[in-house]
Chains A and B, each alone.
Chain A
């Protein structure tokens, strides 16, 4: 349908997103190619200095660390989410289960992080109990390490894996599993060779919803991590607010964005490719 007033509908949207989304992203990209200003900020001199600084073992280590922490957390989330979503999809009380998953999903993000500080922190429940019983003389360092970052990442983003998997598995024809069993497949074979290929698109959207926020994480490592578990997000914030090296911060941001878009592309392409039917040996 053609309409002249059609433009009136999309003008506010295009203007808002163009001016307040595209422009800031453009500025951050351009800042990564500028020279660092004397007192913070930037000076108008084009240089690749920020990217040269980025090309060092220190930042390579942070990049790999980020990839490792978010990768491990994502794999754990998917492994926990598939059986849970499968259970929910086959349940008669789908709404109830959905509700039970949505409550923690909607509970304030920081409160969900705080719950683990209250449990594992130096003054947390576990340490206080152990001290009281006399098993330890001083608090154990259960938080502020890479493992606690992974734990809290899984805790905060697990619903992001369960919900897309649930909506995919719900559409799955469960009689196919019975057919596979009748044809001699074991329970595990039926699961692995029939269900998993059929819900591939759901697995990839779950990967997407978990990996992207975990990879660009700032708050979780800032609250329950230490210097060993610093992720790219923390370095971006540090360069921006403490060191005040804006070009470097902009360059890391550009790298993080490119890495995210790359992961996105891979997941989307893999997820939309039709699953190949594998014969059962």
Chain B
């Protein structure tokens, strides 16, 4: 496995790919410290960070809404998705395949289809568009990820542990809380993390189901970038990239479950 086994071509392609990924992000970082409002370097300054942190109340309000939705949607999605995965895994149902396909459907549908069908559905049943409609939409598209992560974990461990617990006289409730849930803990953490990330990140579906006064952070960013380049977005980008990197470092031992999807 010496580097020469990977020829010059692969080395070049990797460097091109990494440059392609990181140059734009590095340029954003560089210009976020620019004093000038335009994309021409005129000396270093923290003024856009000051503008971001001190003078952007609307942006932070939208961030608060995003956090609220991410927390509630990831909790509910993890609860429903985990229970469903455990149920389908441990118990025999006739409709097992149907439920599995139905649960995984959002992974296959284009986002815009989910957004449009939610919008039409909410207007049909008369649910006003707002934070609650966003919560419902986000929970729905997070459930399949939770389901996949949990199923991967359940596949991994020894079924006989459960049988042993039953043989030793444990009640179903005890088996769930004292055996299954502790075993699934890393997968539950990964599900929460994945759902919260997807929810914080989502733009397209939210775009269709948000109403007046329920602007989430991605919607706010969208409305800002539609008007072109702004140094405040440069600063915000850097904050988000650094935040992402920190979360990735802290949670790297959960990667296994997240990548397996």
**Interface: B222 (CB within 8 A):** yes
Of the candidates B17, B27, B106, which one forms a contact with A115 in the assembled complex, judged by CB atoms under 8 Å apart?
B27
Query: Which A residue's beta carbon lies closest to that of B124?
Result: A27
User: A140 CB to closest chain B CB, in angstroms?
Assistant: 14
Residues of B within 8 A of A280 (CB): none
**Interface: B168 (CB within 8 A):** no
Are the C-beta atoms of B228 and A123 separated by less than 8 Å? yes
Which residues from chain B sit less than 8 Å from chain A, CB to CB? 1, 5-7, 9-11, 13-14, 16-18, 20-22, 24-25, 27-28, 31, 38-40, 79-81, 83-84, 86-88, 90-93, 95, 99, 102-103, 105-106, 108-113, 116-121, 123-124, 136, 139-140, 143, 147, 172, 197, 201, 203-204, 207-208, 218, 221-222, 225-226, 228-229, 233-234, 236-237, 240-241, 244-245, 247-248, 252, 255, 259-260
Complex alpha-carbon distance, A218 and B203, angstroms: 10
Contact with B along A104-141 (1 / 0, CB 8 A): 10111111111111110111110011001000000000
Residues of B within 8 A of A121 (CB): 228-229
**Interface: A2 (CB within 8 A):** yes
Are the C-beta atoms of A103 and B244 separated by less than 8 Å? yes
Are the C-beta atoms of B21 and A17 separated by less than 8 Å? no
Residues of B within 8 A of A86 (CB): 6, 10
Are the C-beta atoms of A14 and B99 separated by less than 8 Å? yes
User: A67 CB to closest chain B CB, in angstroms?
Assistant: 13
Are the C-beta atoms of B111 and A28 separated by less than 8 Å? no
Complex alpha-carbon distance, A198 and B252, angstroms: 29
Of the candidates B110, B207, B225, B245, which one forms a contact with A257 in the assembled complex, judged by CB atoms under 8 Å apart?
B110
Are the C-beta atoms of B17 and A80 separated by less than 8 Å? yes
Complex alpha-carbon distance, A105 and B118, angstroms: 26
Considering only residues 64-119 of chain A, those with a C-beta below 8 Å from chain B are 80-81, 83-84, 86-88, 90, 92, 95, 98-104, 106-119
**Interface: A202 (CB within 8 A):** no
If A80-B13, A249-B116, A253-B113 touch, whether A20 touches B38 (CB-CB below 8 Å) is: no
If A13-B143, A114-B225 touch, whether A24 touches B91 (CB-CB below 8 Å) is: no
Complex alpha-carbon distance, A115 and B20, angstroms: 11
Residues of A within 8 A of B103 (CB): 13, 17
Which 4 residue pairs across A and B have the least CB separation, nearest first?
A216-B110, A9-B87, A13-B84, A6-B91
Among the 9-residue stretches A44-52, A53-61, A232-240, A270-278, the one with 4 or more Cβ atoms under 8 Å from chain B is A232-240
If A1-B91, A114-B237, A260-B108 touch, whether A223 touches B225 (CB-CB below 8 Å) is: yes
Are the C-beta atoms of A260 and B229 separated by less than 8 Å? no
Residues of B within 8 A of A24 (CB): 117-118, 120-121
If A106-B248, A118-B234, A246-B120 touch, whether A12 touches B83 (CB-CB below 8 Å) is: yes
By the criterion of a CB under 8 Å from any partner CB, how many residues of chain A are at the interface? 92
Are the C-beta atoms of A6 and B244 separated by less than 8 Å? no
Are the C-beta atoms of B93 and A6 separated by less than 8 Å? yes
Of the candidates A3, A108, A218, A264, which one forms a contact with B111 in the assembled complex, judged by CB atoms under 8 Å apart?
A218
Residues of B within 8 A of A84 (CB): 10, 13-14, 17
Are the C-beta atoms of B86 and A18 separated by less than 8 Å? no
User: A263 CB to closest chain B CB, in angstroms?
Assistant: 10
Complex alpha-carbon distance, A193 and B119, angstroms: 49
**Interface: A204 (CB within 8 A):** no
User: A208 CB to closest chain B CB, in angstroms?
Assistant: 9
Contact with B along A6-38 (1 / 0, CB 8 A): 111110111011101111110110010000000
Are the C-beta atoms of A115 and B28 separated by less than 8 Å? yes
User: B239 CB to closest chain A CB, in angstroms?
Assistant: 10
User: B26 CB to closest chain A CB, in angstroms?
Assistant: 10
Are the C-beta atoms of B118 and A99 separated by less than 8 Å? no
Complex alpha-carbon distance, A264 and B209, angstroms: 26
Query: Which A residue's beta carbon lies closest to that of B159?
Result: A1
Residues of A within 8 A of B21 (CB): 100-101, 104, 155, 158
Are the C-beta atoms of B80 and A13 separated by less than 8 Å? yes
